[in-house]
Structure 1
Amino acid sequence: MRRVMKFGGALMSDAEGIIKVGQLVKEYSSDPLVIVVSAIGKITNSLEKLHTNSGNRDKSEKLFLDIKDYHLNLLDNLFPEGNDELIRAIDVRFNSLLESTNETYENRYEAYDSIVSIGEELSSCIIYHYLLSMGISARLINAKSLITTNSNYTDADVDWNYTQKTIETRINPMLETLDVVVTQGFIGSDISGKPTTLGREGSDFTAAIFGNILNADEVTIWKNVPGLMNSDPARFDDSEKIENISYHEAIELAYYGASVIHPKTIQPLKQKNIPLLVRPYYDSSLKPTIINNNTSNDSNTASIIVKDDQVLMSIGTQNLSFIAEDNLKQIFSAFSRNRIHINMMQNSAVSFSVSFNKDNDKLKALIDDLSMFNLKYNTGLQLLTIRHYTDELINKYVTNKKVYLLQKSRVTVQILLSK
């Protein structure tokens, strides 16, 4: 059986977590196995701050040292006897990070990808060396040399033809002789070799890319929850595990913001009918959530998705004329240029209202881009999405809150409301 497994950063935030990952890999290493890893802990967030403050020498230097110290402390706990080869490999990557931080780029999105992509290189290096210390035969391959994308930095599109040829040529022979191939999630490179990323939380998608091209029998995402939940257990006390849903339902949940699965993950697996398993890393014996072609359980449980820190922007013409196709083209182009994903939209005769995740830099740039329109916006709102809703559920979460927008279809309701 050929498997692809993805391990997220939350599972590897300390030495104990990495040891557990090693145990899981060893448990499944008798069959051909590719593992895809995210950056350790909250390092992606730290690298994003480093990118944001790269023009401020004092702040960027402190952030850089904090990130380096975090990894070195982790190594001290993981390898108390030391590991000189790993230390040298980590130093090489931190030198790359320092160079990326000081380099001049054409735009901030290119800079983001060059800086933030180092997180996965660091984590994969550590995991690889830990597997070697366990006696597992492994090879570390940089995903930047495997996954080719366009140059749409921060949300790059995969060139499937190039990527398929490269992965088939390089990875298939390794799986014939090695226990494990280790690579990074989230990252790739464009045709000129510049680092790119596949969108925030894109490591799931990377696992699906490998699963599709290598014709895996299954792809597994290891999480710190029992499986795919119908709501966030950290937010809702009555969260339930979903035992089985279809690819279609999983795509819908991911699109609306279910945090367990990246939106692009499902399609490559559906294309080849490869099941996606979501399972708890703390107990591999527990039954996973299985995502496959079975549609019989899709409507059994309502799913609730909440997005905080939403912006509601109402866009109107300066002279109160109708919002027409030409206006919408300008508006959508501005959102696209500023890499802003619209979570909800509603049109009236003289106004177009949209909800999106707050990002102060992007919001400022968007306002400048839409200066020809009359703009009003609110911040600090909450977007509630319920799949397979009932009126009782809607009332439960809307009571005593101001509703700004509400949209219903046969299966889904979205409500933008005050927190």
Structure 2
Amino acid sequence: MVKDRLVHKFGGEIASTSKYLKKSAEIIKDNSEYANVAVISALRGVTKSLAEKCNYFSKGGSESEIDSYIQELRQMHYNKINYPEEQEIIEENLGGKLEELKRHLYSIYDLNHTDSLITDKIIVSGENLSSEIFGGYFSKKGIEPEIFTGREIGIITNNNYGDADIDWKLTAGNIEKYLRPLLEDGITPIITGFDGKTPEGKTTTLGRSGSDTTACVIGCDINAKEINLYKTTEGVTSADPKIVGGKARTIPFMNYHEAMETGEITHYKGVEYAREREIPITVRSILNPEIKTIINGNKNTKKGIKLITCEPGCYLIKIDDPKMAEEVGALGAMSTSMGHYGINLELARDGFNHLIFVPDSNTTEESINLVRKKLEAEYGKIIISPKVSILRAIGNIGFDSHISYIFNKTLEDNTLPEEALIGSYPAKDSWGLEGMVPDSKSEDIVRKLHKNLIE
């Protein structure tokens, strides 16, 4: 009998906490009537740390600092091993992967150089290490796991290192072919999220929320019944409970369009794959999986705003150049140009006599400084403001100008001095509004928006 298939994605917060790791194994065990695939992330903060160390050791540092960093990672992961009977084999496997990572860091230190290709090869180590921890917890529960990378199961991408796009034509069928015999034998594959490879076999990473994208791509290729994304929150909530407290409520249903607008539940790339193949995504609480938000293709949702999101710690880049602002295609060309400097944009807008860009919150100061030099050399007045938050109000808006008015009115007294984007105006099939405010005011404005549009 062929079993239905489920994909379960466990993120960095879950990988970093013993009680969540234990619960992840229980979830797989409780779904034994299905053929299960687990997709995992690195421990919280490890991917960012690896990227920073690549940059640091390519410019200086010392071999002793590399050794100390490897020991720090070793201890961080060893501390997650709670089962003595599994400890020896897990430590042995972790040790081999840590030694490989150390060789890569020594290499960039000796060469005094790194690039995006080398960095991608190093930062996937985070998932490689955490996969061993998940494997130990699964084995303890009587689950038979086998660990694979995204590269090994045939996820093919372009060569946009750091934020690669999956080539579906080259990927389609690879994952199903690789995983089918394992699933039929009752094995639970543990797949490292976040990585793929070029057609030439070079390691790539999938950018922001790459593990979620991996889970969605796998779910689509194996025709899963459901793609489960486990969070430490109670499904998708109407706002961050840390900001609005007990007023946050779990949203039972969303459609794909609403999910793509958020930028927080999962990256739009992953949702787009699921939408095209009509596979539901369910966002579940790790401690109580029955508390959930189901994301599917139903567009007939109730009018109004469902959730408010906030992404702090961004930069705002404003170019004052009337001629450029009027050029057809200038916005897209500049967006592409910024990508060459490792900048992934959250927003790009053209206004009267100016262009506005907002890179995502993972953008480094080094990348911003490189872009600043280029822009100042080529254009007129350039304004770059740090510590900017992107606020979004997501829901079925349609042509409801009243919702847009409330959103913009709430923001207008707290806009940036550069008179940047205040808010977006609704159009047909509109599912979100977005605007920018200083980080220092963002949480207060989230509370006001939640009160005015949801409560």
1:40 — aligned with what? 43
Q: Say whether the 8 Å CA contact 2:80–2:133 is kept in structure 1.
A: no
Paired letter, 2:121: S
CA distance in 1, matches of 2:94, 2:119: 20
- Does residue 1:219 correspond to 2:227, yes or no? yes
Q: Say whether the 8 Å CA contact 1:10–1:41 is kept in structure 2.
A: yes
CA distance in 1, matches of 2:229, 2:182: 22
2:275 — aligned with what? 270
- Does residue 1:413 correspond to 2:433, yes or no? yes
1:309 — aligned with what? 313
Partner SS, residue 102 of structure 2: helix
- Does residue 1:95 correspond to 2:99, yes or no? yes
After superposition, what is the alpha-carbon deviation per residue over 1:11-52, rounded to whole angstroms, capped at 9, x for unaligned?
121332211111111111231111101112322232223223
Quote the offset at 1:139 in angstroms.
2.1
**Cα 1:196–1:177 shift into 2, 3 Å:** same
Residue 384 of structure 1, aligned match among 384, 391, 395 = 391
Quote the offset at 1:10 in angstroms.
0.4
1:212-361 alignment runs, 5 A limit: 212-237=220-245, 238-253=247-262, 257=263, 259-284=264-289, 286-297=290-301, 299-317=303-321, 321=323, 323=325, 324-325=327-328, 328=331, 331-348=334-351, 350-357=353-360, 358-361=363-366
**Cα 1:150–1:333 shift into 2, 3 Å:** closer
Quote the offset at 1:301 in angstroms.
3.3
2:183 — aligned with what? 175
Structure 1: 5+ residue runs without aligned partners? none
CA distance in 2, matches of 1:194, 1:96: 17
**Cα 1:367–1:32 shift into 2, 3 Å:** same
Quote the offset at 1:327 in angstroms.
5.5
**Cα 1:309–1:40 shift into 2, 3 Å:** closer
Quote the offset at 1:399 in angstroms.
4.2
Partner SS, residue 57 of structure 2: coil
**Cα 1:53–1:293 shift into 2, 3 Å:** same
**Cα 1:385–1:130 shift into 2, 3 Å:** closer
1:64 — aligned with what? 70
Paired letter, 2:148: I
- Does residue 1:157 correspond to 2:165, yes or no? yes
CA distance in 1, matches of 2:171, 2:287: 33
CA distance in 1, matches of 2:365, 2:218: 35
Paired letter, 1:65: Q
**Cα 1:326–1:173 shift into 2, 3 Å:** closer
**Cα 1:98–1:273 shift into 2, 3 Å:** same
**Cα 1:203–1:82 shift into 2, 3 Å:** closer
Q: Quick check: 112-121 or 179-188, which moved more?
A: 179-188
Counting aligned pairs with the same residue, the percent is 24
CA distance in 1, matches of 2:85, 2:329: 66
After superposition, what is the alpha-carbon deviation per residue over 1:144-198, rounded to whole angstroms, capped at 9, x for unaligned?
2121222211111223233233212221111111141211111112233322111
Q: Quick check: 268-277 or 301-310, which moved more?
A: 301-310
CA distance in 2, matches of 1:350, 1:245: 37
CA distance in 2, matches of 1:13, 1:326: 44
Q: Say whether the 8 Å CA contact 1:142–1:183 is kept in structure 2.
A: yes
Q: Say whether the 8 Å CA contact 1:29–1:180 is kept in structure 2.
A: no
1:362 — aligned with what? 367
Quote the offset at 1:394 in angstroms.
4.5
After superposition, what is the alpha-carbon deviation per residue over 1:298-327, rounded to whole angstroms, capped at 9, x for unaligned?
53434212221232222235xx75543475
1:53 — aligned with what? 56
- Does residue 1:6 correspond to 2:5, yes or no? no
Q: Say whether the 8 Å CA contact 2:40–2:192 is kept in structure 1.
A: yes
CA distance in 1, matches of 2:324, 2:45: 46
Q: Quick check: 376-385 or 86-95, which moved more?
A: 376-385
After superposition, what is the alpha-carbon deviation per residue over 1:213-237, rounded to whole angstroms, capped at 9, x for unaligned?
1011111001111111222222223
**Cα 1:51–1:298 shift into 2, 3 Å:** farther
- TM-score (normalised: structure 1): 0.90
Paired letter, 1:109: S
After superposition, what is the alpha-carbon deviation per residue over 1:245-290, rounded to whole angstroms, capped at 9, x for unaligned?
111221222xxx2x22122111221222111111101012x24211
**Cα 1:177–1:384 shift into 2, 3 Å:** same
Q: Say whether the 8 Å CA contact 2:20–2:286 is kept in structure 1.
A: no
Paired letter, 1:384: L
Quote the offset at 1:393 in angstroms.
4.8
CA distance in 2, matches of 1:131, 1:384: 39
Paired letter, 2:146: R
Quote the offset at 1:115 in angstroms.
1.3
1:68-87 alignment runs, 5 A limit: 68-75=74-81, 78-81=82-85, 83-87=87-91
Paired letter, 2:272: Q
Q: Say whether the 8 Å CA contact 2:250–2:292 is kept in structure 1.
A: no
CA distance in 1, matches of 2:152, 2:272: 23
Partner SS, residue 422 of structure 2: strand
**Cα 1:137–1:330 shift into 2, 3 Å:** closer
**Cα 1:180–1:308 shift into 2, 3 Å:** same
CA distance in 1, matches of 2:333, 2:229: 39
CA distance in 2, matches of 1:366, 1:24: 46
**Cα 1:321–1:199 shift into 2, 3 Å:** closer
Quote the offset at 1:350 in angstroms.
3.8
CA distance in 2, matches of 1:62, 1:195: 26
CA distance in 1, matches of 2:200, 2:172: 18
Q: Say whether the 8 Å CA contact 2:149–2:193 is kept in structure 1.
A: no
Quote the offset at 1:59 in angstroms.
4.4
CA distance in 2, matches of 1:153, 1:217: 31
CA distance in 2, matches of 1:287, 1:417: 32
- Does residue 1:190 correspond to 2:194, yes or no? no
